Structure 1
Amino acid sequence: MPDLDAQRDAILAALVPVAEGIAATFGAVCEVVVHDYRRPEKSVVAVAGSVTGRAVGGAMSEIGMRVLARGDEARDELNYLTRTGDGRLLKSSTMVLRDSTGTVFGALCVNVDAGAVQQAHALLGALAGTGETVQAPVTTFGNDIDSVVDAILDAHRLRRHQSWAGLDRAGRVELFRSLDEHGVFAVRRAIEQVAARLGISRASAYNYLSQARAATGPACEGARP
């Protein structure tokens, strides 16, 4: 039986110079991040370049949580657009890392600041008499996992334009189902954080999560009483 932790550590270590090489090739607009999903709250093990302000020991973003929630069914997500909290447009790719058993345990992420490209596009559009705004979801890139969970909660509330009190039972179960699909409950203490933000008890939060999972099956096994 191979020592899987040692194998995973070796893969992560081997990717550090790869990350540095990619970032050096593309210059200041590029950032490469190596994630170890065995520690969601401190998943960042290496950073080359600086686009999102990530730091070693920082937390994963909503994108990482989504990958984590999919488990071994996760697939690479390539050339997608997202936007930082301060409005900068990024073109990103997330490539999952697997050990010899096929288990997903991390990711190599590339973020390119596409702001300069967007500005050039807007200028050319203005000169040509046309204009087009690139729409992309806002992603919280934080070194604190609590801020990432809060951002996901806030996004859900904004999409629904309703408070917790304004949701019926089906809406509340659906909220917990969606949060679970996004990998929120893979994070330690997330159930307590969600309960506090919604103004409900920890027991009630577990109850709604159980109802959501009973209807659709567990997205992840991170939240347990």
Structure 2
Amino acid sequence: MSHAEQDAILAALAPVVDGLVATLGSFCEVVVHDFRRPERSVVAIAGSVTGRGVGGSMSEIGMGILARGDQAADELNYVTRTQDGKLVKSSTMVLRDSSGTVFGALCVNLDITAVTQAHALIGELAGLAAPTGMPTTTFGDDIDSVIDAIVDSHQLEQSKPWAELSREERLELFRSLDERGVFAVRRAVPQVAARLGISRASAYNYLSQVRTGSHTPQEHRA
């Protein structure tokens, strides 16, 4: 793995983001991510669909790709909803060096809110049902806010607080967070512990059990 090669690929893509946004217009955002620093992965960006800048963090989707490592694949033409209500159609293309190592991504985000509203209006006039149920995705310059949003969404899915979760439900929560790349971020374990209201020791213990497949270690008091 050559860091110089990876740096060269990222540098070559920097002017591409401006060209794509100039071509596609103000509803487009193009982002280059460096996965070697997930807390501030944005190394080049044009457009303002998600409101991030250079030095900003990756999204939940980016962390999921990071978690899959060299097995990651492109994710194309998916639609999510931002926390402020925008509908965004995106494609995330992984960046690999000559050894096949995944080290970043090129992301294209299109704000399709207005187009979707027009589509819904036309569909209503034609008697067609509008699509619903788009997943919400958190974008932000601060990785902590992204992690908090992921933890909160898991808690909402459970519909009960941590204290009422069974041991298997607690392990599943940590397993899901790990699969989504949360723990690839530095400081993530203490932050998750604080968000859940448990001790750091408990959080590290649950993560260890998930990664080793063990269900027998003594648990620390939450």
- Pair in the same fold by TM > 0.5: yes
Q: Bigger shift: 58-67 or 197-206?
A: 197-206
- Which residue is 1:19 aligned to? 17
Aligned residues: 214
Taking the aligned partners of 2:60 and 2:103, their CA distance within structure 1 comes to 16
Q: Which amino acid aligns with 1:210?
A: S
SS of the residue aligned with 1:95?
A: strand
TM-score by length of 1: 0.92
- Which residue is 1:150 aligned to? 148
2:62 equivalent to 1:44: no
- Which residue is 1:86 aligned to? 84
Cα-to-partner distance string for 1:10-50 (whole Å, 9 max, x where unaligned): 10011011111111111001000000010000000010111
Taking the aligned partners of 1:69 and 1:79, their CA distance within structure 2 comes to 20
Q: Which amino acid aligns with 1:192?
A: P
Taking the aligned partners of 1:28 and 1:150, their CA distance within structure 2 comes to 30
CA RMSD of aligned residues (A): 1.2
Shift of 1:79: 0.1
Q: Which amino acid aligns with 2:91?
A: S
For structure 1, list consecutive stretches of 5 or more residues without a partner in the other structure.
217-225
SS of the residue aligned with 2:177?
A: helix
- Which residue is 1:183 aligned to? 181
SS of the residue aligned with 1:109?
A: strand
Taking the aligned partners of 2:117 and 2:138, their CA distance within structure 1 comes to 22
112, 115, 120: which one aligns with 2:113? 115
- Which residue is 1:219 aligned to? none
Taking the aligned partners of 2:47 and 2:192, their CA distance within structure 1 comes to 33
Structure 1: 4+ residue segments shifted above 3 A: none
Q: Which amino acid aligns with 1:48?
A: A
124, 127, 135: which one aligns with 2:125? 127
Shift of 1:215: 2.2
Identical amino acids, percent of aligned pairs: 71
Taking the aligned partners of 1:17 and 1:130, their CA distance within structure 2 comes to 42
- Which residue is 2:97 aligned to? 99
Taking the aligned partners of 2:170 and 2:129, their CA distance within structure 1 comes to 40
Shift of 1:199: 1.5
Taking the aligned partners of 1:176 and 1:29, their CA distance within structure 2 comes to 36
